[in-house]
Amino acid sequence: MKSIFKSVAIITVFTLLTRMLGFFFRVFLSRAIGAEALGMYQVALSVFMVLLTIVSSGFTLIISRMTANYRVKSDKKAMGSLVTSGMFVGLAVSIVLCLVILLFRNLFKNLFTDANCIYILIILLPSLIFSAIYCVFRGAMWGNDNYFGLCVSELLEQVVKIVVCVLLLASGMSALQSAMSVAWSFTLSCLVSAFFVMLLYFLYGGKMNKPTKIYKNIISQSAPITGVRVVGSFAAPLIALILPARLMASGYTSTQAMSLYGVAVGMAFPFLYVATSLIGSLSTALVPDISMALVQNDHKHVENRVKSSILFALFISFLIAPIFIAIGDKFGTFIYGEPLSGTLLQYSAWIMVPIGVTNITSAILNSMGLEVKSFINYLIGGVFMFLSILILPQFIGINALIVAMGLSTVISSILNIRMIEKKLKIKVHNKKNLLILTLLSIPTIAITSFVSSLLGHFLPTIFDLTISTLIGMSIFVVLCVVFDVVNVSVYFTSFKEKFEKKKNKAKKLAKS
């Protein structure tokens, strides 16, 4: 428990720093390049992410899981061979993908609503090769619980991206030029992070041994995962291609459609992933933890981890979602200067709950080797997503994307939980907690909204938002403690024990 608590704490601190930098960077971009350029970049990036999924998703997870297994057996030679073999496979795949895009760039160009997006995609291509190197060393460090190094590398990548982008952007740039500058900052930051994580791997004592037939295991085990995630990753580029087209069919111009997409995806929806900064930290630590527990047949440990993790995801999601429902409009206007982004945030904030549950349950299923079955759940939710995007824009415009995301994540999260219960033969028992948390959100929303409307008459917006958020969160936590949703005393006891141990140790040192 102490080990995973420490891991989660490290990941959380650095993730919050990284996400905060990313958040302020996104605010800067929205104001510096505008909604149209941001929309172009998001469209090109969504296609690039499919390529990145092919290169990195399966390799990172499998190398992490295999490294954790080799740790149990203390087989360091196999760990070194695993890294070397994985890097050769990753580089080969990434180079082939780059060549395919370059050779058939005219075909890809015709797929975009705005043909200029192909130039942004080409600038992003070198990142595939850098990411192939990064993901292998990241997987090895992940499997060895070297979370500090991983977190530092991700923070460095974000810093480099921001610095390079600020230096490249200049006044008077067209939308295309601005989007291309952002793409260059992404590519250069990937180069720096790849070199840095490789350096850290060796500083932590990692080695690269002669490649062996382990590469066959890497390919055979990662191929299904990669296939599953690649098919899943097509959702973003398909939405980026279909939704603007459907909006245009509903009467919007090309510029208006791209701007609406940019506001929704580039401004409002990133807020929905604030909770995953904390939930994602636990997800990262869970994969090697549960993988090792399964190897050791410690099913009680796995059951406790699963139940507590899902409850944690629910609590964190409900802690933040009511705040955005209450005063999301003010956040959007204050941060982006775009009222529509705040309105969309208010309407979509409830999606944070199924997103959080999907995030944690996906990590649990990954650690159990159930990625393919989990993907079936994703596909079922995806059917409702695309039906919503195809049918609803003519009736509710950009709000169709909110309905699509909501249906998809709700269905996927429910099916994921059922799969976990069936596999482990346990009952998660979250229906009661879900109902209580939902009911407790109602007074939280009302009080937060009232406080904000009151403070807004005589305080600057930044103080209004800060105080209202703190009061709203505090009220929600108090209500959760009163209704026994979370047992805070456990954490106080843990900190008290640590404090007492340090105090006794200091006394012994003073006496000696």
Within 10 A of 434 (CB to CB), how many other CB atoms are there?
14
pLDDT at 338: 81
Contact 341, 506 (CB under 8 A): no
Q: What angle do CA 144, 291, 231 make, to 5 degrees?
A: 100
Which amino acid type is present at position 82? L
Q: How many CB atoms lie within 10 A of CB 232?
A: 17
**Contact in structure between 140 and 218 (CB atoms under 8 Å):** no
Helix H segments across 74-174?
Answer: 76-103, 105-111, 117-124, 126-143, 147-168
If we measure between CA atoms, which residue out of 381, 388, 369 comes closest to residue 413?
A: 381
Distance between CA 33 and CA 179 in Å, rounded?
A: 8
Is the separation of the CB atoms in 117 and 71 below 8 Å?
no
Neighbouring residues of 277: CB distance < 8 A, sequence distance ≥ 6: 12, 15, 16, 19
Question: One digit per residue, pLDDT tens: the chain, 512 residues?
Answer: 445 556 666 666 777 777 778 777 877 877 778 777 877 888 888 788 888 878 876 667 777 777 777 776 766 777 777 788 888 888 888 899 899 888 888 887 777 767 788 888 899 999 888 988 888 888 777 777 676 777 787 788 888 888 888 888 776 677 788 888 888 988 898 888 888 888 888 887 777 777 666 656 666 666 656 665 666 566 777 787 788 888 888 888 888 887 888 888 878 888 888 887 777 655 555 555 665 666 566 677 677 777 777 888 888 899 999 999 999 999 988 888 888 889 999 999 999 999 988 888 887 787 777 777 777 888 888 888 889 999 999 889 889 999 999 999 999 999 988 888 888 887 876 778 889 999 999 999 999 999 999 998 888 999 999 999 999 999 999 998 888 876 655 444 444 454 455 556 555 655 55
Place of tokens 């990284």: 18
Task: Output the CA–CA distances (angstroms, integers) from residue 435 to 315, 325, 429, in the order listed.
Answer: 12, 18, 11
pLDDT of residue 284: 56
Q: Please give the C-alpha separations between residue 215 and each of 79, 266, 438, in angstroms, as whole numbers.
A: 12, 38, 48
What pLDDT sits at residue 224?
58
The C-alpha atoms of residue 411 and residue 379 are separated, in whole angstroms, by: 10
Tokens standing for 104?
Answer: 């058939």
Residue 494 confidence (pLDDT): 43
396 CB neighbour count, 10 Å cutoff: 14
Report the C-alpha gap between 88 and 374 in whole angstroms.
29
What is d(CA 511, CA 390) in angstroms, rounded to the nearest whole number? 75
pTM: 0.65
Per the listing, tokens 């406080």 go with: 451
| Predicted pLDDT of residue 490 | 45
pLDDT of residue 313: 85
And the tokens for 136? 């292998």
Residue 92: how many CB atoms within 10 A of its CB?
12
User: By the 8 A CB rule, do 70 and 292 touch?
Assistant: no
Asked if residues 182 and 162 have their Cβ atoms less than 8 Å apart, the reply is: no
HSE (side-chain half, CA atoms, 13 Å) at 342: 16
Question: Could you give the 3-state DSSP secondary structure of residue 459?
Answer: coil
Report pLDDT for 375.
76
Nearest to 98 by CA among 134, 65, 126: 126
Query: How far apart, in Å, are the Cα atoms of 136 and each of 85, 197, 216, 477?
Result: 9, 10, 15, 40
Residue with tokens 């009911």: 439
Q: CB of 337 within 8 A of CB of 32?
A: no
> What is each CA distance from 154 to 124, 196, 227, 283, 287, in whole angstroms?
18, 10, 25, 16, 19
Q: What is the pLDDT of residue 6?
A: 60
Where exactly are the structural domains of the chain? 1-230, 234-507
**Distance from C-alpha of 17 to C-alpha of 151, rounded to nearest angstrom:** 10
Place of tokens 């999301």: 328
Contact 352, 320 (CB under 8 A): yes
Residue 496's pLDDT is 47
SS3 call for 426? coil
